[in-house]
Amino acid sequence: MRYLLLFLLSLSTRTLLPGQSSDTHMQWFQDAKLGIFIHWGIYAVDGIDESWSFFNKYLSYEDYMKQTTGFTAEKYQPKAWVDLIEKSGARYAVLTTKHHDGVALWDTKAGELNVVKQTPAQRDLVGPFVEEMRTKNLKVGLYYSLSDWSHPDYPLHRSQEYRYQPKDDPARWARFLSFQRQQLRELSTQYKPDLYWFDGDWEHDAATWKSEELRKELKAALPNVILNSRLAGYGDYATPENGVPILPPDNPYWELCLTMNDSWGYQPNDHTYKSVNQIIRIFADCLSMGGNLLLDIGPKADGTIPEEQVAILEGLGRWTKKHQEAIYGTRAGLPTGHFYGPTTLSADSQTLYLFVPHRPNGPLVIKGLKNKVNRIRVVGQATKLSHEIFSKYYWSEVPGLLYIDVPAYTQAEEVTVIAVQLKGKVALHR
Ligand code: GLC
């Protein structure tokens, strides 16, 4: 209850940003829960860190840029990508249109550095993907790095040294911003994204980026577009990276971006893939706190998706398909202390979903639940489960301990999910 109150309070006290009419434009995002992040760029040719490998001087800028000659995209099949994305259970995807290295994946007219002019791919790679996504009614997110370590007017040189400070050469900085705005106008008009995923904002403050103005411009072109947080304070939702928050972030809208192994882009020598089970548990942790998971894949330079990544998305898809009702459109579950594991609540707050990350060696227990229970069942197989209430004293306000037995034959291959149908909206004793 306290959490609900805090949540309502945070909604009412949250100041609206320019162009932010209400929270209704966030609805699809909040209900979607799973997105796929796609890091695709010339860095897949040698299988090295995107942009950072030259910035951190693991190799020279010239050697990094030589990868352009190997970026063929010859087996790129956007339909196959989108089929797989849909199969995983994701409702949106975010494609890198330009990383910090400055190489655009579309035919930008703002500059020469793009895959159409500089690589054997020789064509726009963004458009065909966007079209396929639309045919499946999936939402389209475009990643765009505000920083650009290749552009001659960008202050931070690829050698990690500053060419100049924006305040000392406003005309040069203005030139860079106008290049950036032109690229963004191209993306908005050509692809009409549902979401922009900015990155690299940490190199300058909001005043230097002119974030407020940029936000207004983007929302004027696309009134419902959603902006991630990396706009120096002018975004719509928080983006924790590679670590499930321990407590829910302040912003009620958030998304954990997560690598499957330890790399964003394709790196054949990185075999540290998390298992499907581990990814499902991380996903359940996000759901439990009302957040989304943006799970990353890194296609190869020829446009194919590495086998390990396909297998993970398919495994995840088997689980999301079976457990849909506990995932999409749900809200954050119980605050910690009531159940050993992640939980979600249906939009009407009358069904509580329990995620069982380990094989139980005894009954599950819920503490401090005031509601009467109508029925308990295993999600995805309709088996009913019995329950017992212990330690409920007639003279005490404190609800008893609700025990649910989950026999082995009801347990799912990965994380089992139990639906507890409550009488009325969830009510907690803290
Ligand atoms: C980081 C990195 C970048 C990656 C991004 C994804 O900010 O700069 O390489 O694309 O996170 O979240």
Q: Is the CB of 101 under 6 A from ligand 1?
A: no
Ligand 1 atom closest to Cα of 99?
A: 10
Supply the mean pLDDT for the chain.
94
Distance 243 CA to ligand 1 centre (A): 13
Query: In a mutational test of the pocket of ligand 1, which residue from 198, 199, 296 has the highest number of ligand atoms less than 8 Å from its CB?
Result: 199
Q: Check whether 280 has a pLDDT greater than 80.
A: yes
Q: Check whether 174 has a pLDDT greater than 80.
A: yes
Query: Which residue minimizes the CA distance to atom 8 of ligand 1?
Result: 200
Residue that the structure tokens 């942790």 belong to: 285
| 205-232 pLDDT, tens digit each | 999 999 999 999 999 999 999 999 999 9
Distance 370 CA to ligand 1 centre (A): 44
Distance 81 CA to ligand 1 centre (A): 21
Q: Check whether 416 has a pLDDT greater than 50.
A: yes
Q: What is the pLDDT of residue 21?
A: 44
- Quote the CA–CA distance of 299 and 146 in Å, as a whole number: 23
Task: With H, G, I as helix, E, B as strand and everything else as coil, classify residue 68.
Answer: helix
133-152 average pLDDT score: 98
- Residues with Cβ within 8 Å of 28's Cβ and at least 6 positions away in sequence, in order, are 91, 139, 194
Strands 364-366 and 401-404: antiparallel
- Quote the CA–CA distance of 418 and 70 in Å, as a whole number: 49
Helices within 33-125 (DSSP H only): 43-46, 52-55, 61-65, 78-88, 115-118
Query: In a mutational test of the pocket of ligand 1, which residue from 264, 270, 293, 295 has the highest number of ligand atoms less than 8 Å from its CB?
Result: 264
Distance 38 CA to ligand 1 centre (A): 11
22-31 average pLDDT score: 90
SS (HEC) of 195-262: EEEEECHHHCCHHHHCHHHHHHHHHHHCCCCEEECCCCCCCCEECCECCCCCCCCCCCCEEEEECCCC
Q: Is the CB of 257 under 6 A from ligand 1?
A: yes
Please report, rounded to a whole number, the percentage of residues in the chain having pLDDT higher than 90: 90
At residue 11 the predicted structure's pLDDT band, cuts being 50, 70 and 90, is very low
Q: Check whether 22 has a pLDDT greater than 60.
A: no
- pTM for the model stands at 0.94
Element at 364 (helix H, strand E): strand 364-366
Query: Which residue minimizes the CA distance to atom 1 of ligand 1?
Result: 199
Higher pLDDT, 27 or 4: 27
Ligand 1 atom closest to Cα of 241?
A: 12
CA dihedral angle for residue 324, residue 130, residue 300, residue 96, rounded to 10 degrees:
-90
Distance 50 CA to ligand 1 centre (A): 8
Q: Is the CB of 296 under 6 A from ligand 1?
A: no
Q: Is the CB of 413 under 6 A from ligand 1?
A: no
Distance 108 CA to ligand 1 centre (A): 22
257-275 average pLDDT score: 98
Instruction: Identify the top-confidence range among 4-13, 298-307, 391-400.
Output: 298-307
Q: What is the pLDDT of residue 19?
A: 44
Strands 226-227 and 387-390: unpaired
Contact status, residue 89 vs residue 316, Cβ threshold 8 Å: yes
Distance 247 CA to ligand 1 centre (A): 22
- Quote the CA–CA distance of 257 and 248 in Å, as a whole number: 15
Distance 276 CA to ligand 1 centre (A): 23
Q: Is the CB of 199 under 6 A from ligand 1?
A: yes
Q: Is the CB of 179 under 6 A from ligand 1?
A: no
Amino acid at site 167:
K
Determine the Cα angle at 425 with ends 324 and 31, to 5°.
35
| 290-335 pLDDT, tens digit each | 999 999 999 999 999 999 999 999 999 999 999 999 999 999 999 9
Q: Check whether 404 has a pLDDT greater than 60.
A: yes
Q: Residues 47-62, buried b or exposed e (16+ Cβ, 10 A)?
A: bbbbbbbbbeeeeebe
Contact status, residue 301 vs residue 72, Cβ threshold 8 Å: yes
Distance 386 CA to ligand 1 centre (A): 47
Distance 199 CA to ligand 1 centre (A): 7
- Quote the CA–CA distance of 55 and 95 in Å, as a whole number: 22
Contact status, residue 63 vs residue 45, Cβ threshold 8 Å: no
Distance 93 CA to ligand 1 centre (A): 16
Ligand 1 atom closest to Cα of 239?
A: 12
Q: Check whether 3 has a pLDDT greater than 70.
A: no
Distance 51 CA to ligand 1 centre (A): 9
| 55-97 pLDDT, tens digit each | 999 999 999 999 999 999 999 999 999 999 999 999 999 999 9
Sheet containing 387-390: order of strands? 364-366, 401-404, 387-390
Q: What is the pLDDT of residue 413?
A: 86
Contact status, residue 206 vs residue 235, Cβ threshold 8 Å: no
Q: Is the CB of 241 under 6 A from ligand 1?
A: yes
| 119-137 pLDDT, tens digit each | 999 999 999 999 999 999 9
Ligand 1 atom closest to Cα of 143?
A: 10
Q: Is the CB of 49 under 6 A from ligand 1?
A: no
Q: What is the pLDDT of residue 423?
A: 98
Q: Check whether 49 has a pLDDT greater than 50.
A: yes
CA distances from 41 to 49, 385, 421 (A): 10, 50, 47
Q: Check whether 1 has a pLDDT greater than 90.
A: no
